[in-house]
Chain A
């Protein structure tokens, strides 16, 4: 087990390095360097440009030096907790994003939990009652869930809430709780706001999870040990829950690997539609204003979160499935 975790960690570190290179490449993509445009922007608003400040910035980011030198400066900065400077907000990037990133993690984490809470019971039900009305309904709902883009679902939800209840949905907190400390009323306020984005994010993945669980469970239920258990007179719920369901869950845990990237992707666009204070809208804004250190940091951190989430799911999978723990090499 320890060996497995170490191997997985080394692979993760390599992936993180690759992720950081991609994120830095995106920072570098827009033509011209940001310092030049920053100076132009300062000059156009009539601000005095202090040559020493500019020179410091140039030195800090290694502008004008080769790609790898700039990358190295950027990455070593990040390791020390310095994500660079947002030229638009005139503040350090980290200060701007950590709160929003926390919100992102919260919404996405809740979406994962909701997804499982919905998918597992339904998946078990449709596998046990194959070709029943419920099975067909779940299949149809699943296909629609797959075909409706996240943001479109959010738009429709927003429209219906406005037409039926006259409320404008959006945000994660009411104004009075925006900057308050965490307390019971604030948690309640958060839940009252967060259910919509969480529901929207959960739909697409739920359909896929149900489909996988159904297929796996159907395979398991056909196996002789289930017949044996039944023949020995075990109550039906025990026959199903004790072994087949546990076995059918294993592949489900491994789906987190592709579910998480899709979820993080989806949350960016849903957050823009529902105006959530998460990393998504800030990424969009920083990209349109070419505030590249901010954008790069968000892309980097979103990807890092995804990678770490995937590693956690791998370790979970190894914990519940000894074949993976001992099987690989």
Chain B
């Protein structure tokens, strides 16, 4: 009987290449069924591309200021212009500004001047720069024809710096903090959670008590306390890594729990027992049988941990104890939007917050999709 089934099933398995799929292939197939997760994946990819190509996409340097255009409102970008005689003109352009004196506040404000059209060039020539610090380039994604004309698609801030450029550069910092922070947390989580799950016993319960303790503390006061102790004279890069480390000091707990949980539950699975009975070594069981069956879970858990990191960094920097001024992140950008009067004159300063919401939503949906796809017992 057993021989029979073996013989009838064998040819199918050998000849039918299409029936063989890797673990990741299976996961991808299940993942594709979640439309929302799939869309979110593209959104996330798009954001990370923006982060990668920041210098190319940003029209100006994030620090470039112009006192002539403080709080200039967003120009938007137009593609079709209607002339006075009713004829249409194609080609991207932005409007210029004219200044008006506010009759009440007696303050100079900028108003979009519909008369002036400043043509926009895509792949425009620019001053040479290094893309991501390595690739020399001298083309920007877009720019106005005359570099001295104002170009503020999303408006300008207090110092007349281009919001769009700052947003794009902020994307790089905020998103990379999410990745670096989760990588660090993952390292702590896998080492600590792995040991706890593998050895069990007193070490396991000690680790779990510590995890419970950390999770029962309010995080922001703790983070603030740690971040406030960073020396003020540290360089931008040092602060960046110190802040990420501080975030991971609390972030590892969730991942450690996931890793430990998987280790514990897998130890009693039939296929592990089967491998043990086959005489496989511990090392082989762990690397060949156990790890492949939970990497997908770990990836999903790690993805779901990124939003927390991004939110934490944003919150810390917003309060002024995270990343410091010359570094541009969504949190430091939102710091300018703290004052209600500023907000009333320049609501576009809230743009980084919108980015945060979109990225967090996308990462959550993407992570949820991954988690469902990684679960072999799922629907």
Contacts and interface: CB of A to CB of B under 8 A. Distances in A.
Contacts of B320: 284, 288
A323 to B, nearest CB: 20
Given A29-B226, A306-B218, A159 B344 contact: yes
Given A151-B315, A151-B318, A163-B344, A29 B221 contact: no
Interface string B204-241: 00000000010111111110111011010000000000
Interface in B282-327: 307, 311, 314-315, 318-321
A261 interface: yes
Given A265-B220, A298-B221, A299-B222, A147 B361 contact: yes
A154 to B, nearest CB: 10
B228 A288 contact: yes
A307 B307 CA distance: 26
Secondary structure at chain A's binding surface: helix, strand, loop or mixed?
A: helix
Interface in A253-301: 257-258, 260-262, 264-266, 268-269, 272-273, 283-284, 287-288, 290, 295-296, 298-299
Given A269-B315, A284-B224, A146 B364 contact: yes
A30 B320 CA distance: 17
B216 A26 contact: no
Interface stretch (A15-23, A87-95, A111-119, A231-239): A15-23
Interface residues of A, number: 52
B353 interface: yes
Given A152-B353, A268-B220, A168 B340 contact: yes
B213 to A, nearest CB: 6
Interface string A145-172: 0111101100110110011000011100
Contact of A268 (B221, B228, B350): B221
Nearest to A158: B340
Interface string A166-198: 001110000000000000000000000000000
Secondary structure at chain B's binding surface: helix, strand, loop or mixed?
A: helix
B347 A283 contact: no
Contacts of A272: 319
B216 A287 contact: no
B338 interface: yes
* B interface residue count range (under 10 / 10 to 19 / 20 to 34 / 35 or more): 35 or more
Contacts of A152: 334, 350, 353, 356-357
B343 A155 contact: yes
A22 B217 CA distance: 10
A305 to B, nearest CB: 9
Contacts of A288: 228, 320-321
B360 interface: yes
A124 to B, nearest CB: 24
B221 A264 contact: yes
B321 A149 contact: no
Q: Closest 5 CB pairs between A and B?
A: A29-B229, A264-B218, A287-B228, A26-B225, A265-B220
30 contacts: A15-B216, A19-B217, A23-B225, A26-B222, A29-B226, A29-B228, A30-B229, A143-B361, A146-B360, A147-B360, A149-B314, A151-B318, A152-B350, A152-B356, A156-B353, A170-B340, A258-B215, A264-B218, A264-B221, A265-B218, A265-B221, A269-B315, A269-B319, A284-B224, A284-B320, A287-B228, A290-B228, A295-B228, A296-B225, A299-B222
